[in-house]
Amino acid sequence: MAKLSKNGHAAITITLLFFTVAAVVADSLPPPAALVPAIIAFGDSTVDVGNNNYILNSTFKANFPPYGRDFKNHKATGRFCNGKIVTDITADTLGFTSYVPPYLSPEVTGDNLLLGANFASAGSGYFDGTSNLYNAISLSQQLKYYKEYQSKLAKVVGSTKASSILSNALYILSTGSGDFVQNYFINPNLYKSKSPSEFSSLLVGIFSNVINELYKLGARKVGVTSLPPLGCLPATIQKYGHRRGECISRLNDYARDFNTKLEAAVNSSSRLFPELRIVIFDIYKPLYDLATAPTKHGFVEARRDCCGTGTVETRYAICKANELNGTCRNATGYVFWDGVHPSEAANNVLADSFLMQGIKLIV
């Protein structure tokens, strides 16, 4: 008995001590830290948070209404969505209380460098030739910016702290749809000289080089998105579909072929770099499920996009500036916001599945 109560007392003392220390620490420190120190994003319009606003002649911009209609302060930031993109939702889930500004923004300085960086640019692809068609920031330029970011960060926090942030950061790479939709499908120089499978191999080769490069530069936690079902996007169905309203299986086959090659490349990178944690954030399956059986998932519309882009030109598959009339009243039931980009509601579904797939990056 005596022994028990003595232990019990010790336990209570330790518990009290713990709470006292915790309280003192909580008083003197900022709010609880996020699960990773920083998020660093590369890619295309799926993750662009407004870099293209700073490129005068970039083809694709989303810094006008109706973009951002359901975002904080209804602001059109340059995100290709009515509300949050997947990386915003992921940042929320990981405990961040603010979003990283686009890297080209003048706000990217001082303490704003600490929570990560976003280099993504709408119109960009794995293949620099794709980016060049649309005056987007190519992936190789995004890597150059990343190196510049590393030295800026080291100047702010010192090189030891900087390398700790950079090796614990979550890296997200989301690109590749544009290489097909905005380039291969419409570019005779490519589709006459390469089969879709050869083109996929070329892109995945670039992906592997990018991973090598990022690893050398200190990245250790990487999530790469797979290609979406390219044949289920409102823009491709409108342009290439024969029977209105059905996904185009040929285009989906190209995406699945790319995704298989991507998976093989991810597997090789894992073998090559044992310290690298790398996962595929699969977009294909969840978006295919939404696009083919929307009502099963609480959606009402998967063929028409909410903002009513309405022209046959894929390159104009984004919302028309200030055209509010054709825009649906409530995007919550729509899988697609514009001709190629999911709505915030669909992004919530994608982000949920990313989280399941990305657990090993954050524990």
Ligand X SMILES: *[C@@H]1O[C@H](CO)[C@@H](O)[C@H](O)[C@H]1NC(C)=O
Catalytic residue numbers, as ranges:
45, 338, 341
Cα–Cα distance, 169 to 101 (Å, whole number)? 16
Question: Which residues touch 336 (CB under 8 Å, ≥6 apart)?
Answer: 233, 234, 302, 304, 305, 306, 342, 343, 346
Beta bridge pairs of residue 342: 336
Whether the Cβ atoms of residue 211 and residue 222 lie closer than 8 Å to each other: yes
- When binding is defined by CB under 6 A, the residue of 264, 293, 324, 359 that contacts ligand X is 264
Instruction: Give the interface segment with ligand X, choosing from 45-53, 153-161, 301-309, 330-338 (CB under 6 A).
Output: 330-338
Per rule CB under 6 A, count of chain residues that contact ligand X = 10
- When binding is defined by CB under 6 A, the residue of 5, 28, 57, 73 that contacts ligand X is 57
Instruction: Give the interface segment with ligand X, choosing from 35-43, 138-146, 192-200, 327-335 (CB under 6 A).
Output: 327-335
Cα–Cα distance, 32 to 96 (Å, whole number)? 10
Cα–Cα distance, 76 to 70 (Å, whole number)? 9
CB of 258 to ligand X, least distance (A): 12
- When binding is defined by CB under 6 A, the residue of 65, 310, 326, 333 that contacts ligand X is 333
Start-to-end Cα distance in the chain:
41
CB of 268 to ligand X, least distance (A): 8
CB of 122 to ligand X, least distance (A): 15
CB of 153 to ligand X, least distance (A): 25
Question: Which residues touch 34 (CB under 8 Å, ≥6 apart)?
Answer: 91, 94, 95, 96
Residue 73 interacts with ligand X (CB under 6 A): yes or no: no
Q: Compare residues 175 and 343 and give the one whose CB is closer to ligand X.
A: 343
Site for ligand X in 268-297 (CB under 6 A): none
Task: Quote the DSSP letter at residue 315.
Answer: G
For the chain, the maximum distance between any two Cα atoms, rounded to a whole number of angstroms, is: 87
Residue 260 interacts with ligand X (CB under 6 A): yes or no: yes
> How many C-beta neighbours within 10 Å does residue 287 have?
24
Of all residues in the shown chain, the one whose CB is closest to ligand X is: 333
Site for ligand X in 185-244 (CB under 6 A): none
- When binding is defined by CB under 6 A, the residue of 92, 128, 213, 263 that contacts ligand X is 263
Cα–Cα distance, 117 to 42 (Å, whole number)? 9
CB of 101 to ligand X, least distance (A): 20
Query: Each residue of 87-100: b (16+ CB within 10 Å) or e?
Result: bbbbbebbebeebb
Cα–Cα distance, 352 to 86 (Å, whole number)? 9
Nearest to 304 by CA among 244, 229, 252: 244
Whether the Cβ atoms of residue 108 and residue 93 lie closer than 8 Å to each other: no
Residue 267 interacts with ligand X (CB under 6 A): yes or no: yes
CB of 61 to ligand X, least distance (A): 13
Residue 301 interacts with ligand X (CB under 6 A): yes or no: no
- When binding is defined by CB under 6 A, the residue of 124, 131, 332, 347 that contacts ligand X is 332
- When binding is defined by CB under 6 A, the residue of 330, 352, 359, 360 that contacts ligand X is 330
Instruction: Give the interface segment with ligand X, choosing from 147-155, 222-230, 257-265, 307-315 (CB under 6 A).
Output: 257-265
Structure tokens at 206: 């670039």
Q: Compare residues 20 and 268 and give the one whose CB is closer to ligand X.
A: 268
Residue 135 interacts with ligand X (CB under 6 A): yes or no: yes
CB of 351 to ligand X, least distance (A): 18
Which residues are at the interface with ligand X (CB under 6 A)? 57, 135, 260, 263-264, 267, 300, 330, 332-333
